[in-house]
Structure 1
Amino acid sequence: MTEQKTLAPGADLHPNWQTDDHLLALLADNAKRFPDRVALREYDHGIWHEYTWRQYLDEVLSFAAGLEARGVGPGDIVLIVGENRPALYFSMLGAIALRAIPSPAYPDVPPEDLIGQIQRESIRHAVAEDQEQVDKLLHAAEVAKTEWALIVYDDGRGLEDQAGLQAYLTLQAEGRARLAAEPGLAQDLCTRASVHDVAALLHSSGTTGAPKGIPLKHGHVLHGVRNAAAAGYFQEGEVHMAYLPIAWVGDFIFSVGAGIALRFIVNIPETRETAQRDLREIAPTLYFCSPRTWSGMHTRIQVGMDESSPFKRRLYRHFMPYAIDLERRRMGGHVPTLGQRLWRSVGELLIYGPIKDRFGLSRVVRPYTAGEAIGEEIFLFFRGLGLNLRQFYGQTENCALAAAQAPGEVTLHTVGRPFPGVELRVDEQGEILMRADNVFDGYYQQPEASAEVLRDGWLHTGDAGFLQEDGQLVVLGRVSEVVHTRAGERFIPTYIENRLQFSHYIQNVCVLGQGRDYLVAIVCVDFRAVGHWAQENNVPYSSYAELSQHPRVYDLIQEVITHTSQVLPQPLHIRRFVNLHKEFDADDGEITRTRKLRRKVIDKNYSKIIEALYSDAHSVEFEASIMYETGDVGVLKRELSLRTVSGRGE
Structure 2
Amino acid sequence: MLPEKIHQNLESSRAMHPGWQDQDHLIRQLVNNARDHGDQVALRERDRGIWQEYTWQDYLERVMALAAGLETLGIGPGDRVLVVGDNRPALYFGMLAAVTLRAVPSPAYPDTNPQEIQSQMETESIRCALVEDQEQVDKLLGIRAAGYGHLDHILFDDPRGLKGKEPPGALALEDLLARGRDRLEREPNLAQDLQSRPSVHDTAVLLHSSGTTGAPKGIPLKHGHILSGVRNASQAGYFREGEVHMAYLPMAWVGDFIFTIGAALVLRFCVNIPERQETALHDLREIAPTLYFGSPRAWSNMLTRIQVGISESTGFKRRLYHHFMPFAVELERRRLAGQIPTPVERAWRAVGEILIFGPLKDQLGLARVERPYTAGEAMGEDVFLFFRALGLNLRQFYGQTENCALCVAQPPDSISLHTAGRPFPGVELKISDDGEILVRSDNIFDGYFNNPEATAETLQDGWMHTGDAGYLEEDGQLVVLGRVSEVVYTRGGERFIPTYVENRLKFSHYIKDACILGKDRDYLAALIVIDIDAVGHWAEENGVAYTSFADLSQKPQVYELVRKEVAHVNGVLPEALAIQRFVNLHKEFDPDDGEVTRTRKLRRKVIDAHYAPIIESLYDGRGSIEFEAKISYETGESGTLKRHLAVADVTGAQLAEEV
Indicate if the aligned counterparts of 1:406 and 1:416 stay in contact, CA closer than 8 A. yes
Partner of 1:426: 431
Q: Normalized against structure 1, the TM-score is what?
A: 0.99
Shift of 1:348: 0.5
Shift of 1:164: 1.6
Partner of 2:613: 608
**Residues 496-535 of structure 1: matches in 2 within 5 Å?**
496-535=501-540
Determine helix, strand or coil for the equivalent of 2:529. Answer: strand
Gaps of at least 5 residues in structure 2 are none
Indicate if the aligned counterparts of 2:481 and 2:500 stay in contact, CA closer than 8 A. yes
Indicate if the aligned counterparts of 1:119 and 1:144 stay in contact, CA closer than 8 A. no
Shift of 1:624: 1.1
Does 1:359 pair with 2:364? yes
Partner of 1:137: 140
Partner of 1:487: 492
Partner of 1:408: 413
Match among 83, 102, 107 for residue 105 of structure 2: 102
Match among 303, 306, 323 for residue 311 of structure 2: 306
Structure 1 residues 162-171 or 115-124, which shifts more?
A: 162-171
What whole-Å deviation, never above 9, does each CA across 1:512-533 have from its counterpart, x for those lacking one?
A: 1000000000000000001111
**Residues 171-186 of structure 1: matches in 2 within 5 Å?**
171-186=176-191
- Separation in 2, partners of 1:634, 1:478: 36
Letter aligned with residue 574 of structure 2: P
Shift of 1:413: 0.4
Partner of 1:15: 18
Shift of 1:625: 2.0
Partner of 2:215: 210
- Separation in 2, partners of 1:562, 1:144: 53
Match among 62, 66, 76 for residue 59 of structure 1: 62
Shift of 1:542: 1.3
Shift of 1:142: 2.8
Match among 417, 431, 443 for residue 422 of structure 2: 417
Partner of 2:129: 126
Match among 559, 566, 587 for residue 564 of structure 2: 559
Does 1:582 pair with 2:572? no
Shift of 1:629: 4.2
Determine helix, strand or coil for the equivalent of 1:587. Answer: helix
Does 1:41 pair with 2:44? yes
Partner of 1:540: 545
- Separation in 2, partners of 1:146, 1:470: 57
- Separation in 2, partners of 1:173, 1:610: 58
Match among 158, 171, 174 for residue 155 of structure 1: 158
Shift of 1:271: 0.9
Shift of 1:539: 1.3
- Separation in 2, partners of 1:97, 1:29: 15
Letter aligned with residue 556 of structure 1: L
Shift of 1:162: 5.3
- Separation in 1, partners of 2:421, 2:428: 13
Determine helix, strand or coil for the equivalent of 2:90. Answer: helix
Determine helix, strand or coil for the equivalent of 1:414. Answer: coil
What whole-Å deviation, never above 9, does each CA across 1:114-144 have from its counterpart, x for those lacking one?
A: 1110111111111111111011112123334
Partner of 1:30: 33
Indicate if the aligned counterparts of 2:126 and 2:150 stay in contact, CA closer than 8 A. no
- Separation in 1, partners of 2:47, 2:561: 42
Q: Normalized against structure 2, the TM-score is what?
A: 0.97
- Separation in 2, partners of 1:264, 1:144: 43
**Residues 121-520 of structure 1: matches in 2 within 5 Å?**
121-159=124-162, 160-161=165-166, 163-520=168-525
Indicate if the aligned counterparts of 2:80 and 2:127 stay in contact, CA closer than 8 A. yes
- Separation in 1, partners of 2:639, 2:403: 44
Shift of 1:592: 0.3
Determine helix, strand or coil for the equivalent of 1:637. Answer: strand
- Separation in 1, partners of 2:563, 2:417: 23
Letter aligned with residue 504 of structure 2: R
Letter aligned with residue 141 of structure 1: R
Shift of 1:621: 0.7
Determine helix, strand or coil for the equivalent of 2:207. Answer: strand
Indicate if the aligned counterparts of 2:125 and 2:150 stay in contact, CA closer than 8 A. no
Shift of 1:487: 0.9
Shift of 1:627: 2.7
- Separation in 1, partners of 2:210, 2:139: 21
Indicate if the aligned counterparts of 1:289 and 1:370 stay in contact, CA closer than 8 A. yes
- Separation in 2, partners of 1:271, 1:144: 33
Structure 1 residues 257-266 or 542-551, which shifts more?
A: 542-551
- Separation in 1, partners of 2:40, 2:166: 34
Does 1:646 pair with 2:614? no
Determine helix, strand or coil for the equivalent of 1:474. Answer: strand
- Separation in 1, partners of 2:147, 2:169: 17
Partner of 1:592: 597
- Separation in 2, partners of 1:629, 1:74: 39
Determine helix, strand or coil for the equivalent of 1:273. Answer: helix
- Separation in 2, partners of 1:115, 1:46: 35
What whole-Å deviation, never above 9, does each CA across 1:371-398 have from its counterpart, x for those lacking one?
A: 0000011101100100000000000000
Structure 1 residues 7-16 or 67-76, which shifts more?
A: 7-16
What whole-Å deviation, never above 9, does each CA across 1:246-278 have from its counterpart, x for those lacking one?
A: 000000000000010000000000111111000
What whole-Å deviation, never above 9, does each CA across 1:390-442 have from its counterpart, x for those lacking one?
A: 00000000000000001111111000000000000000110000000000000
- Separation in 2, partners of 1:104, 1:616: 47
What whole-Å deviation, never above 9, does each CA across 1:355-375 have from its counterpart, x for those lacking one?
A: 000010000000000000000
What whole-Å deviation, never above 9, does each CA across 1:455-501 have from its counterpart, x for those lacking one?
A: 01100000000011110000000000000001111100000000110
Determine helix, strand or coil for the equivalent of 1:10. Answer: helix
- Separation in 2, partners of 1:448, 1:375: 37
CA spacing shift, 1:271–1:7, aligned 2, 3 Å: farther
Structure 1 residues 185-194 or 136-145, which shifts more?
A: 136-145
Shift of 1:294: 0.4
Indicate if the aligned counterparts of 2:127 and 2:152 stay in contact, CA closer than 8 A. yes
- Separation in 1, partners of 2:215, 2:14: 29
- Separation in 1, partners of 2:191, 2:46: 29
- Separation in 2, partners of 1:126, 1:542: 42
Letter aligned with residue 229 of structure 2: G
Indicate if the aligned counterparts of 1:79 and 1:127 stay in contact, CA closer than 8 A. yes
- Separation in 1, partners of 2:563, 2:152: 56
